[in-house]
């Protein structure tokens, strides 16, 4: 009996690369003094290696480890996305942690470990792989959220996230158990083809419902969103940047694969549940976003709302919807990494300088920075020519195509709400005079990363085919 086929090795190569490099980094961290810089470079090298592996297996379209892991195509696309997010959030984190004098190697190791979980999520062809991925990612997140161990808010954030996250994982696992109980398999590729009659079994449906709760928690959809604002606000800003982009993208990648199984049955009830979930997230996320005064909290509510927009793509169960989600995740990741990157540069100790008023007059003090933040806000609102618009266009198109026009209408109306609070930052930056005249020091690494994010949303906004052409072979 053969233990490993070449496909197995190739398919898991991004995970292996990350795993090996994170172990090396861990060793270096333990053995060397003042090792944070070294660990940073090892981690960057590990991520670049993993990106190389993921890109090289992109043309493959196979499964590995007896259909546990997807190889190439979809999995590679998302792996590259997660890896780029991880890389960018490391770039954002380094100057921030150095300034906060809390720069230790563990940080990068944890980011890599979380990324392994994400890559597993994006490649899961089996509910067990999905579960492993979620746990791997979430446990790293719990630790990262509490990284500033001396700060109360950071501890609170970690504890809240952990308690609620563990609870949600319980639902997920219970759901998996019910599905296994009713079909005898946890493999996503086999459930429908082998046991279509299982969908007549209420226990099977309940199983999917419980899985939905688990995923709903991870993507921060209403009514499973309670943890988001506090966790986002309390966690160190670079961690929030990583969680809100990487965590969300990973959760959505597995959400899409997993739910393509029950959605293929075109069950009206399930479509309605997803549509309501999406509608509630868009409404509540944007509604509460209106009254925020703290940027991190505002972006937390905006993250809930954006989860709502993306769930439209799942509810529509069409390839346009899935492509829309994938594109949206790319644009959302770049936008939020950029926005959080800017926040890390302007933040002061103990969560100072995070309110709208602190951004007054930024357009004059730092024109480049303000222009970038304005672009990110326009992209989040969904104004062309930025990438956020193309994503919304695809998602709303998928809703209209799947006879969910009401959802698309709700989507645009809530976008209108969101215009108000996204524009408020621009109002402060450009239309008000500065109250604070302290000099702003921009760390080069972060600034370059933010510029890359900005260039990305313009590039993909004007030439979206760069991404859609890649997706032709995937969906």
Partner 1 sequence: MNNILTYTLFSPLVGIFLLLFINKEKQSLIKYIGIAASLATFALSLFVYFGFDAANTQLQFVEKYPWIAALDISYFVGVDGLSILLIVLTTFLTPIALIASWESITDRLKEYVSFMLLLEVGMLGVFLSADLFLFYVFWEAMLIPMYFIIGIWGGKDRIYAAVKFFIYTMAGSLLMLIAILWLGYYASTLPDGYFTTNLLKLYAIAPGIPMGIQVWMFLAFALSFAIKVPLFPLHTWLPDAHVQAPTAGSVILAGVLLKMGTYGLIRFCLPLFPQASFQFTPLLATLSVIGIVYGALVAMVQTDVKKLVAYSSVSHLGFVVLGIFSMTEEGMQGAVIQMINHGLSTGALFLLVGMIYDRRHTREIAQFGGLAKVMPVFSTIFMIVTFSSIGLPGLNGFVGEFLILLGSFNSMFLGSFWYAAIAATGVIFSAVYMLWMCQRVFFGKITHEENRSLLDLTKREIALIIPVLFFIVWIGVYPSTFLKPSAAFTKQAVTQLQNAKSGNIVPTGAMGK
Enumerate binding residues for partner 1 (CB under 8 A).
320, 323, 363-364, 367, 378, 383-385, 389-390, 393, 396-397, 400-401, 405, 408-409, 412-413, 415-416, 419-420, 423, 426-427, 430-432, 464-465, 468, 472
What sign does the dihedral 317-322-324-330 (CA atoms) show?
positive
CA 33/CA 380 separation, integer angstroms: 43
In the complex with partner 1, the residue whose CB is nearer, 155 or 401, is: 401
Cβ atoms of residues 456 and 326 within 8 Å: no
In the complex with partner 1, the residue whose CB is nearer, 174 or 468, is: 468
CA dist list (Å): 39 to 32, 105, 341, 372, 445: 10, 5, 21, 30, 17
In the complex with partner 1, the residue whose CB is nearer, 153 or 419, is: 419
CB of residue 264 vs partner 1: minimum separation in angstroms? 20
In the complex with partner 1, the residue whose CB is nearer, 166 or 427, is: 427
In the complex with partner 1, the residue whose CB is nearer, 193 or 405, is: 405
In the complex with partner 1, the residue whose CB is nearer, 84 or 320, is: 320
CB of residue 219 vs partner 1: minimum separation in angstroms? 24
Cβ atoms of residues 279 and 223 within 8 Å: no
In the complex with partner 1, the residue whose CB is nearer, 183 or 322, is: 322
Query: 280: which residues sit within 8 A by CB, 6+ positions away?
Result: 221, 222, 223, 308
CB of residue 137 vs partner 1: minimum separation in angstroms? 31
Token readout for 79 is 């792996």
Query: 101: which residues sit within 8 A by CB, 6+ positions away?
Result: none
Number of other CB atoms surrounding residue 472 within 10 Å = 10
**Span between the terminal Cα atoms of the chain, in Å:** 34
CB of residue 465 vs partner 1: minimum separation in angstroms? 6
CB of residue 256 vs partner 1: minimum separation in angstroms? 18
Angle between helical axes of 319-346 and 367-381 (0-180°, round to 10): 150
CA 418/CA 335 separation, integer angstroms: 15
Minimal CA–CA distance to 230: which of 312, 272, 292, 283?
Answer: 292
In the complex with partner 1, the residue whose CB is nearer, 192 or 423, is: 423
Burial of 239 (0-12, 13-18, 19+ CB in 10 A): buried
Minimal CA–CA distance to 17: which of 61, 83, 77?
Answer: 83
CB of residue 54 vs partner 1: minimum separation in angstroms? 24
In the complex with partner 1, the residue whose CB is nearer, 213 or 390, is: 390
Which long-range contacts (C-beta less than 8 Å, at least 24 apart) are formed by 280-283? Answer: 280/221, 280/222, 280/223, 280/308, 281/220, 281/221, 281/222, 281/225, 281/305, 281/307, 281/308, 281/311, 282/308, 282/309, 282/410, 282/411, 282/414, 283/222, 283/308, 283/410, 283/414
CB of residue 246 vs partner 1: minimum separation in angstroms? 27
CB of residue 395 vs partner 1: minimum separation in angstroms? 10
CB of residue 60 vs partner 1: minimum separation in angstroms? 23
């Amino acid at each position: 009996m053969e233990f490993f086929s070449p496909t197995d090795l190739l398919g898991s190569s991004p995970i292996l690369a990350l795993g090996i490099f994170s172990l090396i980094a861990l060793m270096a961290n333990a053995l060397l003094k003042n090792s944070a810089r070294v660990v940073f470079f090892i981690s960057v090298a590990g991520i670049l290696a993993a990106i190389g592996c993921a890109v090289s297996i992109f043309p493959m379209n196979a499964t590995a480890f007896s259909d546990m892991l997807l190889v190439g195509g979809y999995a590679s696309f998302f792996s590259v996305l997660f890896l780029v997010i991880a890389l960018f959030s490391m770039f954002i984190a380094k100057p921030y942690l150095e300034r906060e004098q809390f720069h230790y190697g563990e940080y990068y190791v944890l980011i890599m470990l979380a990324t392994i979980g994400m890559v597993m999520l994006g490649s899961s062809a089996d509910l067990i792989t999905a579960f492993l991925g979620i746990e791997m990612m979430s446990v790293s997140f719990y630790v990262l959220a509490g990284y500033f161990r001396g700060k109360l808010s950071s501890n609170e954030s970690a504890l809240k996230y952990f308690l609620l996250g563990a609870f949600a994982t319980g639902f997920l696992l219970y759901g998996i158990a019910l599905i296994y109980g009713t079909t005898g398999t946890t493999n996503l590729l086999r459930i429908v083809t082998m046991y279509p009659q299982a969908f007549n079994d209420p226990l099977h449906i309940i199983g999917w419902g419980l899985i939905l709760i688990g995923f709903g928690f991870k993507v921060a959809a209403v009514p499973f969103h309670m943890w988001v604002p506090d966790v986002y606000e309390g966690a160190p800003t670079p961690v929030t940047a990583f969680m809100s982009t990487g965590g969300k993208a990973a959760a959505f990648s597995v959400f899409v694969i997993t739910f393509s199984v029950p959605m293929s049955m075109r069950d009206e009830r399930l479509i309605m549940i997803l549509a309501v979930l999406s509608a509630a997230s868009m409404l509540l996320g944007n509604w509460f976003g209106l009254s925020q005064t703290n940027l991190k909290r505002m972006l937390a509510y905006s993250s809930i709302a954006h989860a709502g927009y993306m769930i439209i793509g799942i509810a529509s169960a069409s390839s346009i919807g899935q492509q829309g989600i994938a594109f949206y995740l790319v644009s959302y990741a770049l936008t939020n990494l950029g926005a959080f990157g800017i926040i890390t540069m302007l933040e002061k100790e103990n969560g100072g300088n995070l309110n709208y008023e602190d951004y007054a007059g930024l357009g004059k003090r730092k024109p480049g920075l303000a222009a970038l933040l304005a672009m990110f806000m326009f992209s989040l609102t969904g104004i062309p020519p930025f990438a956020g618009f193309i994503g919304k266009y695809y998602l709303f198109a998928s809703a209209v195509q799947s006879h969910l026009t009401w959802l698309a209408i709700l989507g645009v109306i809530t976008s209108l709400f969101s215009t108000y609070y996204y524009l408020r930052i621009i109002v402060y930056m450009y239309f008000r005079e500065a109250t604070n005249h302290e000099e702003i020091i921009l760390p080069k690494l972060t600034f370059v990363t933010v510029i890359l994010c900005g260039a990305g949303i313009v590039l993909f906004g004007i030439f979206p085919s760069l991404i859609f052409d890649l997706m032709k072979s995937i969906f």
